Amino acid sequence: MKELFRNELPFWLRMLGIWRQNKDSWDAKWGYFALRWGFRFVLHRGGYFDQRWAVTFALIWGVFHFYLPWRTRLVEGCNTPQYGIAIHNNTFWIYTGGKYDESIGQCTGNDQWITWDLPFFSWVFDGHWIREKRQIGEFIQSGDWRRVDHDAYLYRQDLAYTETHPYTYVLKSGEVQNRTATCTIEKRNWHRKWFPFLTRTKQVIDITFDDEVGERSGSWKGGCIGCSYEMQEGETIKACLSRMEKERKF
């Protein structure tokens, strides 16, 4: 949906106080209506650098957010207290407010909410594995999987099977970036909460570049110096890296 502002909107939308329409929402003086799924009944003690109380509610489809005609005594901030219930990210949330630190304009601590991962929908992380290197004579080959949940960075450097390949990236300007990519093979497993026999495995190459890659290279934002890319069944490191070279934009 094309973004439209008040002077471009139909008369009936302007009469409803709408001043902007885009693919995500209708924005109005009284709040907004968002076009998405949701379940939420939340009272906001202020908004993003906004001292107005507000309420958000959603029941399956469509999210309504209304400003209320009262102002909080809290100083403006970016994360003010909330009270109510919601479901998102496969989690049930109870918002309890929390302690608001006016010096930084944010709620702090772990008392802002109580959460429960939804059974049958939530994924529970089982572990992270990296391919070991195996030396046979003068040759180093890919070995067994090694679980490395807490020391992955050090393991990649010292004990993981790695391959180094050239990587070429072409900027929009036509400039060609020639880089060296150091890659390891890694996988992570999950299972459904309360359904441990329903599992998911993601196998990737983890990549470290010898210099920045992408349009932001050399800027204050910085280019990409490392990433991962999901492997397809039967794919080698080199084949996966070549596919990423064609498909991925930085």
How does pLDDT run along the chain (250 residues), one tens digit per residue?
678 887 888 888 888 888 888 888 888 889 999 988 889 999 999 888 989 999 999 998 999 999 999 999 888 888 899 999 999 888 999 999 988 888 888 888 788 999 998 888 889 999 999 998 876 666 666 778 989 878 887 788 888 899 999 999 999 999 999 999 999 999 999 999 888 899 999 999 999 999 999 999 989 989 999 999 999 999 999 999 999 999 999 9
Residues 89, 184, single domain; the answer is no
Report CA torsion sign: 39, 45, 47, 52.
positive
Q: List the structure tokens of 138.
A: 């003068």
Count the Cβ atoms, other than its own, within 10 Å of residue 209: 20
pLDDT score of 203: 96
Task: DSSP for 23-85, please give it.
Answer: SSEEEETTEEEEEEEEEEEEEESSBBTB-EEEEEEEEEEEEEEEEEEEE-SSPPBSB--EEEE
Q: Which of 117, 140, 173 is the last residue of a domain?
A: 117
Same domain, 189 and 204: yes
pLDDT, position 133: 81
Looking at 95, 117, 139, the residue that finishes a domain is 117
pLDDT at 102: 85
151 and 196 together in one domain: yes
Neighbours of 180 (CB within 10 A): 12
As a whole number of angstroms, the distance between CA 85 and CA 93 comes to: 5
| Beta-ladder partners of 31 | 28, 66
Residues 104, 182: one domain? no
* Shared domain check, 241 and 204: yes
Q: What is the pLDDT of residue 142?
A: 76
* Spatial CA neighbour of 106 closest among 66, 77, 75: 77
Number of domains in the chain: 2
Contact 120, 195 (CB under 8 A): yes
- Is the distance from CB of 146 to CB of 161 less than 8 angstroms? no
Nearest to 64 by CA among 44, 35, 92: 35
User: Beta strand 106-108 with 99-101: parallel, antiparallel or unpaired?
Assistant: antiparallel
Which amino acid appears at position 207 of this protein?
I
Please calculate the CA angle 155-156-162 and round it to the nearest 5 degrees.
135
Question: Which amino acid is residue 13, in one-letter code?
Answer: L
Residue 136 has a pLDDT of 64
The three-class DSSP label of residue 162 is strand
Q: For position 106, what pLDDT does the model report?
A: 87
- Structural domain span for residue 148: 124-247
Residue closest to 40 by CA, chosen among 60, 23, 54: 60
pLDDT on residue 138: 63
* Same-domain pairing of 113 and 138: no
Q: Are residues 152 and 222 in the same domain?
A: yes
Mark whether 8 and 94 lie in a shared domain: yes
Within this chain, do residues 110 and 133 fall inside the same structural domain, yes or no? Answer: no
Per-residue confidence (pLDDT) for residue 86, from 0 to 100: 95
Within this chain, do residues 34 and 100 fall inside the same structural domain, yes or no? yes
Within this chain, do residues 136 and 240 fall inside the same structural domain, yes or no? Answer: yes
Q: Which distant-in-sequence residues (6+ apart) come within 8 Å of 226 by Cβ? A: 206, 207, 208, 209
d(CA 105, CA 48): 10
Residue where a domain terminates, one of 83, 117, 151: 117
> Residues 83, 132: one domain?
no
